[in-house]
Amino acid sequence: MNFYNFKPKSRIRDFIVEKFIMLNALTALIVILLIFIFIFKESIPIFTNHKVQQEAGLDKLIFKQQYYQGREPKWSWQPNSDVPKYSLLPLFLGTIKAAIVAMLFAVPLAVGAAIYSSEFAGRRAREFIKPIIELLAGIPSVVLGFFALIVLASILQSLSGFTYRLNAINAGIALGIAIIPIIFTIAEDAMTSVPQSLREAAMALGANPWQISFTVVLPAALPGIAAGIVLGFGRAIGETMIVLMASGNAAIISGGFTEPIRTLSATIAAELAEVVFGSAHYNVLFFIGTLLFVFTFFVNLGGELVLNRLKERLQGRSK
Amino acid sequence: MADQEIKMQFGEVAGRFSDSALKVGNPKMTIEGLNFYYGNIQALKEIDLDIEKYNVTALIGPSGCGKSTFLRTLNRMNETISGTRMEGIVRLDGVDIYRDIKDVSAVRTRVGMVFQKSNPFPKSIFENVAYGLRVNGISDKSIVRQAVEETLHRAYLWDEVKDKLERSAYMLSGGQQQRLCIARALAVRPEVLLMDEPASALDPLSTSKIEDLIGELKKNYTIVIVTHNMQQAARISDFTAFFYEGRMVEFGPTTLLFTKPVKKQTEDYITGRFG
Amino acid sequence: MNDHVQNAGAVDDRFTASYKSGPKTSGVVPKFLTLAAVIIIVAMLAVILIVTLHGGIGILSWDFLSSPPENGMEAGGIFPAIFGTVALVMLMVITGVPVGVMTAIYLHEYTRPDSKVTRLIRVAINNLAGVPSIVFGLFGLGFFIGFIGTGIDSALFAGGRPVWGQPAIIWAALTLALLTLPVVIISTEEALRAVPREIKDASYALGASKLQTIRRVILPQALPGILTGAILAISRGAGEVAPIMFTGAAYYLPYLPHKLNDQFMELGYHVYVMATQSPDVEKTKPILYGTVLVLLTLTFLLNFIAIFIRSRLRIRRVHG
pLDDT tens digits, one per residue of A89-103: 889 999 999 999 999
How far from B107 is each of A164, B30, B102, B193, C23, CA to CA, in Å? 79, 14, 9, 12, 68
**Per-residue pLDDT, A80:** 83
- Polymer length of chain A: 319
Residue of B nearest to C209 (CA): B105
Whether C14 has a pLDDT exceeding 70, the answer reads no
Q: How confident is the model at residue A211 (pLDDT cuts 50, 70, 90)?
A: confident
Q: List chain B residues with CB under 8 Å of C198.
A: 115, 117, 119
Residue of C nearest to B183 (CA): C206
Cβ distance C280 to C302 under 8 Å? Answer: no
Q: Say if strands B27-38 and B41-52 run parallel, antiparallel, or are unpaired.
A: antiparallel
Q: Say if strands C75-76 and C69-70 run parallel, antiparallel, or are unpaired.
A: antiparallel
Q: Exposed (0-12), middle (13-18) or buried (19+): which is C4, by Cβ within 10 Å?
A: exposed
Nearest by CB to C33, from A34, A112, A268: name it: A112
Q: Which residues between 26 and 85 in chain B have a beta carbon less than 8 angstroms from any beta carbon of chain A? A: none
In chain C, the DSSP E strands lie at: 69-70, 75-76
**Per-residue pLDDT, A107:** 96
CA geometry: angle at C310 spanning C305 and C311, to 5°?
100
Nearest by CB to B137, from A1, A3, A7: name it: A7
Distance between alpha carbon C102 and the CA centroid of its chain, in Å? Answer: 19
CA geometry: angle at B102 spanning B100 and B106, to 5°?
100
CA dihedral sign, ordered A4, A5, A7, A8: positive
Q: List chain C residues with CB under 8 Å of A39.
A: 135, 138-139, 142
Q: Say if strands A85-86 and A77-78 run parallel, antiparallel, or are unpaired.
A: antiparallel
Q: What radius of gyration do chain C's Cα atoms show?
A: 28
Whether A289 has a pLDDT exceeding 70, the answer reads yes
**Per-residue pLDDT, B7:** 63
Q: A278 CB near a chain C CB, below 8 Å?
A: no
B114 or C76, which is more confident: B114
CA distance C160 to C181: 35
CA distance A162 to A154: 10
Q: At what angle do helices C219-239 and C281-319 cross, to 10 degrees?
A: 160
How far from B122 is each of B43, B99, B183, B195, B202, CA to CA, in Å? 33, 34, 16, 21, 20
Whether C320 has a pLDDT exceeding 50, the answer reads no
Helix (H, G, I), strand (E, B) or coil at B41: strand
Structural domain boundaries in chain A: 86-318
CA distance B275 to B44: 18
Quick one: CA torsion of A187, A190, A195, A200, rounded to 10 degrees? -20
* Furthest-apart CA atoms within chain B: distance in Å: 60
**Per-residue pLDDT, B15:** 47
pLDDT digits (tens, 9 = 90+) for C218-264: 999 999 899 999 999 999 999 999 999 999 998 888 888 898 889 99
Distance from CA of B52 to the nearest CA of C (A): 22
Asked if C131 and A24 come within 8 Å (Cβ–Cβ), the reply is no
Q: B104 CB near a chain A CB, below 8 Å?
A: no
How far from A116 is each of A49, A222, A271, B191, C33, CA to CA, in Å? 56, 15, 43, 62, 9
Q: How many CB pairs under 8 A join B and C?
A: 67
**Per-residue pLDDT, B20:** 43
CATH of C62-319, one of 3.40.47.10, 1.20.1050.10, 1.10.3720.10, 1.20.120.1200: 1.10.3720.10
Q: List chain C residues with CB under 8 Å of B80.
A: 200-201, 204
Whether C118 has a pLDDT exceeding 50, the answer reads yes
- Give me the interface pTM, i.e. the ipTM: 0.89
CA distance B42 to B84: 10
Q: List chain B residues with CB under 8 Å of A7.
A: 136-137
Whether C7 has a pLDDT exceeding 60, the answer reads no
List chains adjacent to chain B, taking adjacency as at least 3 C-beta pairs closer than 8 Å.
Answer: A, C
| Stated pTM of the model | 0.87
**Per-residue pLDDT, C87:** 94
Q: Looking at B175-189, C131-145, C296-310, which range is the least confident one?
A: C296-310
Cβ distance C212 to C203 under 8 Å? Answer: yes
Q: B109 CB near a chain A CB, below 8 Å?
A: yes
Q: List chain A residues with CB under 8 Å of B103.
A: 8-9, 11
Whether C74 has a pLDDT exceeding 70, the answer reads yes
pLDDT digits (tens, 9 = 90+) for B4-37: 666 656 655 554 444 444 556 678 999 999 999 9
Q: List chain A residues with CB under 8 Å of B138.
A: 4, 6
- Polymer length of chain B: 275
- Count other Cβ atoms within 10 Å, centred on residue B95: 13
Nearest by CB to A39, from C105, C128, C139: name it: C139
Of B78, B103, B61, B1, whose CA–CA distance to B226 is shortest?
B61
The amino acid present at B92, given as its one-letter code, is: L
B188 or A50, which is more confident: B188
**pLDDT digit of tens for each residue in chain B (275 aa)?**
566 666 656 655 554 444 444 556 678 999 999 999 998 999 999 999 999 999 999 999 988 888 999 999 999 999 988 889 999 999 999 999 999 988 899 999 999 999 998 999 999 999 999 999 999 988 899 999 999 999 999 998 999 999 999 999 999 998 999 999 999 999 999 999 999 998 888 888 889 999 999 999 989 999 999 998 888 998 999 999 999 999 999 999 998 888 888 888 888 888 887 75
Of B16, B17, B45, B13, whose CA–CA distance to B31 is shortest?
B45
Start-to-end CA span in chain C (Å)? 61
CA distance C102 to C185: 8
Q: What are all long-range contacts of C186-190, with beta carbons under 8 Å and residues at least 24 apart? A: C186/C125, C186/C229, C187/C225, C187/C226, C187/C228, C187/C229, C187/C230, C187/C232, C188/C100, C188/C101, C188/C103, C188/C104, C188/C105, C188/C222, C188/C225, C188/C226, C188/C229, C189/C104, C189/C107, C189/C108, C190/C225
Asked if C198 and B112 come within 8 Å (Cβ–Cβ), the reply is no
pLDDT digits (tens, 9 = 90+) for C96-107: 999 999 999 999
Left (φ > 0), alpha (ψ -120 to 50) or beta: where does C130 sit? alpha
List chains adjacent to chain C, taking adjacency as at least 3 C-beta pairs closer than 8 Å.
Answer: A, B
CA distance B181 to B167: 15
List of domains in chain B: 3-110+191-270 (3.40.50.300), 119-189 (no CATH)
The amino acid present at B108, given as its one-letter code, is: R
Q: List chain A residues with CB under 8 Å of C103.
A: 24-25, 27-28
Asked if C124 and A177 come within 8 Å (Cβ–Cβ), the reply is no
CA distance A98 to C46: 24
Is the domain defined by A86-318 classed in CATH 1.10.3720.10? yes
CA distance A126 to A123: 5
Phi, psi of C203 (to 5 degrees): -65, -45
Give the burial string for A177-205 (b: 16+ CB within 10 Å, else e). Answer: bbbbbbbbbbbbbbbebbeeebbeebeee
Q: What is the mean pLDDT of chain C?
A: 86
